[in-house]
Amino acid sequence: MTIQMEPANESSTGSEDNGELEAGRDWFHGAVVYQIYPRSFADSNGDGIGDLRGIISKLDYLHTLGVDVVWLSPIYASPQDDNGYDISDYRSVDPIFGTLDELQELSEGLHKRGMKLVMDLVVNHTSDEHPWFVESRSSRDNPKRDWYWWRQPRDGVEPGTPGAEPNNWGSAFSGPAWDYDDATGEYYLHLFAKKQPDLNWENPEVRASVYDMMNWWLDRGVDGFRMDVINFISKDTALPDGPRGDGKLYGDGSPYYLSGPRIHEFLREMHREVFAGRDKPLLTVGEMPGVTVEDAVLFTDPERKEVDMVFQFEHVALDQEQGNKWRPKKLELTELKSSLGRWQDALAERGWNSFYWGNHDQARAVSRFGDDGQYRELSAKMLAGVLHLHRGTPYVYQGEELGMTNMTFGAISDYRDIEVLNHHREATTHLGHTDAEVLAALAPLNRDNARTPVQWDATRHGGFTTGSPWISVNPNANHINAAAQVDDPDSVFSFYQKVIAFRHEDPVISDGDFTMLLPDDPHVYAYRRSLPGVEILVLANFSGSEQTPQVDKSWAEAEQVLGNYTSRPDLHLKPWELKVFRRLG
Ligand code: GLC
Ligand code: CA
């Protein structure tokens, strides 16, 4: 196929070899991204599943909120084993979501309102129903055999029985990372579900096909990609056994695929083949579980031409025992500050941060980091302020701007997420835990918390659907919903509007330096942003009791430019209070 490039503008650098950066800051320093999880956003046809027409009907809502970019979780053809993160055709829209024409309409509707569209790029794996995999599994000498990771069973163990897998790696969704294929007598690798076989990025044809598909989307007018588990694509080709922790059924293969040997090479090649020479502002963000801050600098240094920013996971692992999301532990504010502060410092000179409290894989922000009871609105606003005023591009996950909370699910049959269902089965059948124990442990952090439908109004099913929703709507939709908030100047929604506008209007937010203050204060999150001639102080109380943070007293005379209580000229903080001061000099 021929790739049509946008007409190059005279002054553009054009060529991949030219290291010149656009003069001035990157446009995304001042941008806010909003994530839509289409299945749970808005249902237009009453089948209980959110769809593109539903999103189109809410474009004015997004515009009113003020966000600059919409990141759409996958809407491609998919058997929906992992809600669309298992793609069977990269160039079509799944009929449950709509059509390519509707996607075009959505894209135009966003552009018309000054917003951009970023698509999800899921290329660590495909669906097992993708024609590439169907061919690959058809015979050992199929030309696409090598597009995936096929390996012989372990010597001396009956193929297809436990222990015969080529190595000991576990899948992120429980069970081994290998599945035996009778037809050809070999195993294929799947770091996620069985229906998500990993693509073999060592094969240059795989890479060329992926780049071709990305170019196809950019030529259709999309404005960038959020790249799913992109730091998993380069594996140590020897696929050695991984360390096995206490009480674990499987080994941890991540040392052999996390930011693997060729990851930087692959991303630079992708940049060269897909993004170089396109002069319209695009956005690329790599989802990178386990990425280190040192690696993040390399990934996001603009001169290296890899990605604009990464999603890191350190701050969402702090409330899990040794990174195990099924064993929650108390989140310490001092640890949160030390983690996020370290990322701020490391990417101050080179590279760029992204910021999120939540997404479709995480608990709801206000339930996790705030107080979703008595102080729900205050703490939701405080969290918005703290996140958005950092140096980095902030992401808002659908419903967060309404202060939506975690869901209380009853039985395991109320859950839909494959990760939850597989874990529950494994923990109750192989690890000897009771149903009640497993349900209690997974309640706070499981992914379905974020996947209950957006609460639009107080009508049946929160106005999400006229039919029966694919997953229950949170009963608190009767009082937590968009209709009640959009026109209320004191609502969480209105507060999000304010912090988003703040980033647009004040360069000290988009580009100022960052300094963490009071690192040892167990309750107050405090930092300063500054540019020559102007500085901002952010004070935030992460507790339900009053605090008097020990910051420079002269700040009390500065102008308070943002807060979630009526402003008072002092440095005391009420429960979950946020105060932002600005001064010149
Ligand atoms: C990413 C996605 C998650 C998905 C997984 C496998 O982590 O965010 O939802 O299950 O990759 O594609
Ligand atoms: Ca629908």
pLDDT in tens, 174-232: 999 999 999 999 999 999 999 999 999 999 999 999 999 999 999 999 999 999 999 99
- Which DSSP symbol is given to 271? I
Residues 159 and 91 in one domain: no
The Cα 391–Cα 379 span in angstroms is 21
Average pLDDT over residues 62-88: 98
The number of the ligand nearest the C-alpha atom of 419 reads 1
Is residue 11 over pLDDT 50?
no
pLDDT for res 362:
98
Residue 9 lies in a domain: no
Residue 564 domain flag: yes
Q: CA-to-CA distance for 384 and 243, rounded, in angstroms? A: 39
The answer to whether residue 261 sits within a structural domain is no
62 and 73 inside one domain = yes
Does residue 246 lie in a domain region? no
Mark whether 313 and 176 lie in a shared domain.
no
Q: Look over the chain and give the mean of its residue pLDDT values, rounded to a whole number.
A: 95
The pair of structure tokens assigned to 15 is 């060529």
Query: Which candidate, 344, 333, 396, 407, places its Cα nearest to that of 370?
Result: 333
Active site residue 165: no
pLDDT of residue 569: 87
| Of 325, 501, 492, residue with least CA distance to 405 | 492
Segment 23-44 mean pLDDT:
92
Q: Torsion angle of alpha carbons 44, 48, 50, 51, nearest 10°?
A: -50
Predicted local distance difference test score (pLDDT) of residue 585: 82
Give 252: exposed, middle or buried? Use CB within 10 Å, 0-12, 13-18, 19+. middle
- Domain of 544, CATH number, reads 2.60.40.1180
Local confidence band at 15 (pLDDT 50, 70, 90 cut-offs): very low
Average of per-residue pLDDT across 414-434: 97
Q: Is the pLDDT of residue 22 over 50?
A: no
- If you average pLDDT over residues 347-362, what whole number do you get? 97
Ligand 1 proximity of 400 Cβ (cutoff 6 Å): no
* Ligand nearest the Cα atom of residue 122: 1
- 446 pLDDT above the threshold of 60: yes
Band of residue 19 on the pLDDT scale cut at 50, 70, 90? very low
Interhelix angle 293-300/333-346, rounded to 10 degrees, is 40
Residue of the CA atom closest to atom 5 of ligand 1: 85
Q: How far is the CA of 316 from the centre of ligand 2 (A)?
A: 31
- Alpha-carbon distance of 151 to 168, in angstroms, equals 13
* pLDDT at residue number 246: 84
Catalytic choice (26, 82, 228, 400): 228
Domain membership of residue 424 (yes or no) is no
Q: Is the CB of 82 within 6 Å of ligand 1? A: yes
Q: How many domains is the chain partitioned into structurally?
A: 3
Residue 258 lies in a domain: no
Q: Would you say residue 38 has pLDDT above 80?
A: yes
Asked if residue 502 belongs to a domain, the reply is no
How many Cα atoms occupy the beta-carbon half-sphere of 101 within 13 Å? 0
What is the model's pLDDT at position 118?
98
Range of the domain at 397: 28-124+199-237+270-408+443-492
**φ and ψ of 189, to 5 deg:** -85, 135
Last residue of a domain, one of 150, 183, 198: 198
> How high is the pLDDT of residue 3?
38
pLDDT on residue 12: 36
In angstroms, the CA 453 to CA 57 distance is 15
Q: How far is the CA of 369 from the centre of ligand 1 (A)?
A: 22
Q: Would you say residue 380 has pLDDT above 60? A: yes
Q: How confident is the model at residue 116 (pLDDT cuts 50, 70, 90)?
A: very high
Provide the token pair at 334.
Answer: 């001092």
Question: Are 483 and 577 within one domain?
Answer: no
| Known active-site residue 301 | no
> End-to-end CA distance of the chain, in Å?
57
Phi and psi at 538, nearest 5°, equal -110, 125
Residue 14: pLDDT band (50, 70, 90) is very low
Asked if residue 333 lies in contact with residue 522, where contact means CB atoms within 8 angstroms, the answer is yes
Rounded Cα gap, residues 407 and 472, in angstroms: 9
Residue type, 263: I
Burial of 141 (0-12, 13-18, 19+ CB in 10 A): exposed
Position 75 scores a pLDDT of 98
Report residue 507 as tokens.
Answer: 């360069």
- With 0-12 / 13-18 / 19 or more C-beta atoms within 10 angstroms meaning exposed / middle / buried, residue 584 is exposed
User: Nearest bound ligand to CA 286?
Assistant: 1
Mean pLDDT of 161-172: 97
Mean pLDDT across the stretch 353-382? 98
Give 232-283 pLDDT, tens digit per residue.
Answer: 999 999 999 999 988 889 999 999 999 999 999 999 999 999 999 998 999 9
Query: CA angle, 391 as apex, 389 and 397 as ends, to 5°?
Result: 65
* Partner residues linked to 536 by β-bridges: 529, 582
Task: For residue 419, give the ligand 1 atom closest to its CA.
Answer: 10
Let me know whether 517 and 550 are in one domain: yes
Query: How many C-beta atoms surround the C-beta of residue 237 within 10 A?
Result: 12
What is the mean predicted confidence (pLDDT) over 365-392? Answer: 98
In this prediction, residue 20 has a pLDDT band, given cuts at 50, 70 and 90, of: very low
Whether residue 47 is found in the same domain as residue 190: no
What is the pLDDT at residue 247? 81
229 CA → ligand 1 middle, Å: 7
Per-residue pLDDT band for 322 (boundaries 50, 70, 90) equals: confident
Of residues 3 and 298, the one with the higher pLDDT is 298
* Structure-block tokens of residue 264: 């930087």
pLDDT score of 69: 98
Tell me how far the alpha carbon of residue 454 lies from the centroid of ligand 2, in angstroms: 14
In order, the DSSP letters of 404-453 are -------SGGG---HHHHHHHHHHHHTS---HHHHHHHHTTT-THHHHSP
At which residue do the structure tokens 């908030």 appear? 485
| The pLDDT of residue 488 is above 70 | yes
